[in-house]
Amino acid sequence: MSSLRILVRRAAFAATLLTCSSWLSAASTPQSAPAASTTPAAAAVAVPNPPRLRDCPDCPEMVIVPPGQFDMGSNDGEKTRPEGPIHRVTLARAFALGRTEVTVAEFRRFIAATGHKVPPGCRVQETAIGPRGRVEWRDDPSKGWSDPGFSEPLRDDMPVVCIGHDDAEAYARWLASATGKPYRLPSEAEWEYAARAGSTTPFPWGSNSDNGCPHANLYDRSGRQHLDFGWSFVDCDDGFRELAPVGQFLPNAFGLYDMIGNAWEWTADCHREFYDPSFDDGGVVPPPPDCQRWTVRGGGWMTRPSRQRVTFRGRDPKATHYSYFGFRVARDLVNGETGH
Ligand SMILES: [Ca+2]
Ligand SMILES: [Ca+2]
């Protein structure tokens, strides 16, 4: 890595940080670049290398996300899917967030250790154009996280999908129990803060969705050619028609992969139509006991570009099992952890 590129990287990274001097110091230390992406554009772009944690050899690798402030939300949401009001959120403490979505292999270890039963069935994509001139979705009782119905074999390093909110929370509880560390799902605010990683544009890479292919597995030209869902697509080629293995694209400025695209990600927050700006500390807004829909973020491999925006809010019943819904875990830092 050239010294100029390191300086550029440091400057870009520092610009995202508002409060955490110790994290900045660690992040500014030149380190060897991690294996990042197989996309050609990756070779020309420096990637951040933040402090990380891993609580066991088979545990998800965690990135330490620095504290800071950001303006959450947007006034540009769909009419029936508001994303505002825009409000300032302050995350006073660093926290850890999965470097990638939880993978099939990681989830399988949870199933083997606990015997957890994921309810059978998943909404999966048809493989051919239907009578309405587009590819439809079907609820298939024979599909599930270990066989989500893709045209290519499921890989251990793909994100686990066909996972309901309860399953994601059960995984986090098990990981907390197994490691003694406070694993959980991220709050919606933490998710958006981490996905933005200092950016203020509709997408972390800018304002044009068509520039997203080096950064995310989107509903791209190849996806559209393979499966025409009848909605718009990004006019570039990201190399993956359906689900992609995790970590194949450029990380964001916090060193996180696939926040946008690949699998949608369940959060710990119950969906509320409008944000309550009085909840401004980045934590989970206490859910009502009868929460009907939970927030899911980031879009997936099949999502139209307008819903790949970093502020877009999916909201679905907790028992939703789709071939494009997965999750990543968060955890609080304990005993002065700083990562390595
Ligand atoms: Ca794609
Ligand atoms: Ca994702």
Residue 336 falls within a domain, yes or no? no
Distance of CA 299 from the midpoint of ligand 2 (Å): 6
Q: Which three-class secondary structure state does DSSP give residue 4? A: helix
Residue 38 falls within a domain, yes or no? no
Distance of CA 2 from the midpoint of ligand 2 (Å): 31
Residue 39 falls within a domain, yes or no? no
pLDDT digits (tens, 9 = 90+) for 175-202: 999 999 999 999 999 999 999 999 999 9
The CATH number of whichever domain residue 70 belongs to comes to 3.90.1580.10
Which residue range forms the structural domain that includes residue 59? 3-32+44-331
Residue 337 falls within a domain, yes or no? no
φ and ψ at 126, to 5 degrees? -70, 165
Which residues is 332 bridged to in the sheet? 95
Residue 318 falls within a domain, yes or no? yes
Element spanning 261, H or E:
none
Q: Which two tokens stand for residue 230?
A: 């009848």
Distance of CA 222 from the midpoint of ligand 2 (Å): 18
Residue 338 falls within a domain, yes or no? no
Residue with tokens 């080629």, as numbered in its chain: 237
Protein residues within 5 Å, CB atom, of ion ligand 1: 217, 220, 223, 238, 240
- In the predicted structure, residue 24 carries a pLDDT above the cut 90: no
Contact 83, 311 (CB under 8 A): yes
26 or 333, greater pLDDT:
333
Strands 52-53 and 62-65, sheet pairing: antiparallel
Give me the DSSP letters along 155-198: -TTSBP-S--HHHHHHHHHHHHHHHSS-EEPPPHHHHHHHHHTT
Q: pLDDT band at 336, cuts 50/70/90?
A: confident
Average pLDDT, the chain: 89
What is the maximum span of the chain, computed from C-alpha positions, in angstroms? 59
Rounded to 10 deg, the angle between the 3-15 and 21-28 helix axes is 160
pLDDT at 98: 98
Q: Which two tokens stand for residue 166?
A: 């309860």
Q: Which two tokens stand for residue 328?
A: 């990543």
Distance of CA 301 from the midpoint of ligand 2 (Å): 9
Distance of CA 4 from the midpoint of ligand 2 (Å): 31
Residue 319 falls within a domain, yes or no? yes
Q: What is the Cα–Cα distance from 31 to 319, expressed in whole angstroms?
A: 43
Q: pLDDT band at 45, cuts 50/70/90?
A: low
Distance of CA 223 from the midpoint of ligand 1 (Å): 5
Residue 226 falls within a domain, yes or no? yes
Distance of CA 124 from the midpoint of ligand 1 (Å): 16
Q: What is the Cα–Cα distance from 190 to 68, expressed in whole angstroms?
A: 11
Q: How many domains is the chain built from?
A: 1
